[in-house]
Structure 1
Amino acid sequence: MGVTCQLLLTKANEGVSYYKAGQSVTGTLKYVFDKPTEFTSATLSLIGSGFCQWQTQLANSILIHVGNEDYVVQHMDLLQAKQGEVVTIQPGSYEHPFNFKLPEEIPSSHKDDVGNITYKVELRFIKSGLVKNSNKFNTIITVYGDVKPNIPQPLMAGLNKEYKFLCRKNFLNLKAQIRKKKQRS
């Protein structure tokens, strides 16, 4: 059987299962081994990345455009092993609490035909030996970015209208104030 794993996330917002930019992603990692197993690393990570792909046609050829971007990559080393050191994990149950902080300026989770932005908590065990086998477990989380206005000051608008009169002055200057309509309760 090898290893079984559970990534238990703490609900972030009054019992709902999404996170906002700047919040902490917390929870408990639980895993069980049924026999002694040697590993070179065991890493719990918070990963947020974007991927897009689309194509355009130019004359007789098709161009494929691909883009990748990382928004957050945070790691937690579970073995605390030195580089190249092999650690044997004995049979039994293990628990590790975790806490990752999402950056303030990240985009929301998204998926469409052109691409996606995904966030996940991922556990990866890498076994020792000539062939580097790995066990990987992950859970996708939904993240909403923080929407901020583009213009920090009030928006000023103006209108310059030219009128022709049979007098010496060619312009009529008008000034107006627009009041915000009060909401009825």
Structure 2
Amino acid sequence: MGIHCEIYLHKPPNGAFVGVRGNVVSGVIRYVVNVPTTITEITASIKGEGIMKVEYLLRRDDQKQPETEIRTETYIDVNTISQSGLTVLQVGAYDLPFRVIIPHDIPPTSKYVKYGNIHNVTCKISYHVRIRFSRPGLMTFAKQFTKEIIIIAALVPRLPTSPAIYNGHKKLTQLFSSKQSHINIKANVPNSVLRCGDKIELNYEVINDTNVVIKSVEVKVVEVYTFNPLSGREVVITENVPGTETKTVAIQKGGTQEMSVEITMPADRESLDHSKIVSREYFVLLIVNLPMPHRNYVQKIPIQIGNNIHDSVVQFDNHLISQPPSYWDAMHEDWGDTKDYQHKTK
């Protein structure tokens, strides 16, 4: 089939589409026919899906190969039939406008790969525009073209945007002492919902009502990925966010430490919600470092990060389909889903 495709997207100023209610992906698909071609249907689509693969490296005795789980999830699957019925496309260029509303509860475009000693994890969330030309005949396969698009999610606050207080308490057991020994922690966060690259503000107080010297108080931010295979064997991967660590001096017996901390988050860190297979969360850890044999105490404070906070995001309505495009991008020929095709053919 002598068909070639290009696409023009009416992109927002930053080049990515924001998944908030009322926003749209729109543009024009131009297809060029080199030889007269018979088709039964032309379909323009917007599709988005996530795919996660977890390979468990610790094998049971009865397993010869590492166990692998794959889970997929569909976020958007909208088809618009622009032409239906047996038609002969003559030689020439054709323009096909399209416009699809973006769901407000979809995750952003993302990719994650992690190889470890216990498991290997790969996860990808992607979105693309597709045009499909169906041809007559039982043994004739459709020809389709795709172009990937970038989606950034709207951040729906589920944490306080006003000051929140977190209290912690640890009781120490001390041999040969009848006195009750306690460490009390109080942390105040003015705002738990932040934009990418903003500063995290934290005010805390640690009261050391024990006979033990607290070695230091450490504050840092961690990134937590949680993957959810269908088997229910949740995989959690926690990593420190570079450049967010601070550490204070010791707190003497019976002493108190009050501190205000500001942590600048890297601009490329963003929470990931609205997916059943994966989440990406951020936590401020307030760690009270204790001498042996006592275990450290960790106060965990959740935060949300994103550039498009739902209550204040400015929607970009891409309605100017009739405007002449300024440039065109090539669409790539795609062989379709394995559920649709058993083998490749031209």
TM-score, normalization: structure 1?
A: 0.77
Give how far 1:157 is off. 4.0
Q: Indicate which of 150, 155, 168 corresponds to 1:142.
A: 150
Aligned equivalent of 1:151: 159
* 1:21 pairs with 2:29: no
What is the distance in 2 between the residues matched to 1:4 and 1:26?
A: 20
Matches for 1:95-110 after TM superposition, within 5 Å: 95-110=95-110
Map of 2:134 onto structure 1: 126
> What corresponds to 2:216 in structure 1?
none
Map 1:27-42; keep pairs closer than 5 Å.
Answer: 27-42=27-42
Letter aligned with residue 146 of structure 1: A
Alpha-carbon deviation of 1:130?
Answer: 3.1
* Equivalent AA in structure 2 for residue 42 of structure 1: I
User: Could you tell me whether the CA contact under 8 Å between 1:48 and 1:117 is conserved in 2?
Assistant: yes
Q: Determine the structure 1 residue equivalent to 2:86.
A: 86
- The DSSP-based 3-state class of the residue aligned with 2:158 is coil
Aligned runs of 1:37-76 on 2, under 5 Å? Answer: 37-56=37-56, 57-60=58-61, 61=63, 62-76=66-80
2-structure distance, mates of 1:93, 1:108: 34
For residue 116 of structure 1, what is the aligned residue in structure 2? 124
Structure 1 residues 59 and 101: alpha-carbon distance in aligned structure 2, compared to 1, 3 A threshold: same
Quick check: 1:36–1:90 contact (8 Å CA) kept in 2?
Answer: yes
Higher relative contact order (CA 8 A, sep 6+): 1
Q: Give the aligned partner of residue 172 of structure 1.
A: none
1:39 and 1:87 in contact (8 A); partners too: yes
Q: Contact 1:7–1:138 at 8 Å: present in 2 too?
A: no
- Give ranges in structure 1 of 5+ residues lacking alignment: 163-175
State how many pairs are aligned.
Answer: 163
Task: Report the TM-score, using the length of structure 2 for normalisation.
Answer: 0.43
1:115 maps to amino acid:
C
Provide, for residues 21-61 of structure 1, a one-character-per-residue CA deviation record: whole Å limited to 9, x for no partner. Answer: 02211111111112221112211100010001111133132
Superposed CA RMSD in Å reads 2.7
Asked if the contact 2:165–2:189 (Cα under 8 Å) also holds between the matched residues in 1, the reply is: no
Q: Is the 8 A contact 1:123 1:138 kept in 2?
A: yes
- Which sections of structure 2, spanning at least 5 residues, go unmatched? 114-121, 172-185, 191-200, 202-346
**What SS is found at the alignment partner of 1:112?**
strand
Q: CA deviation at 1:159?
A: 6.5
SS at match of 2:150: strand
Q: What is the percentage of aligned positions where both structures have the same residue?
A: 24
Partner deviation per Cα, 1:125-158 (whole Å, 9 max, x = no partner): 1211232222211111111111122235753545
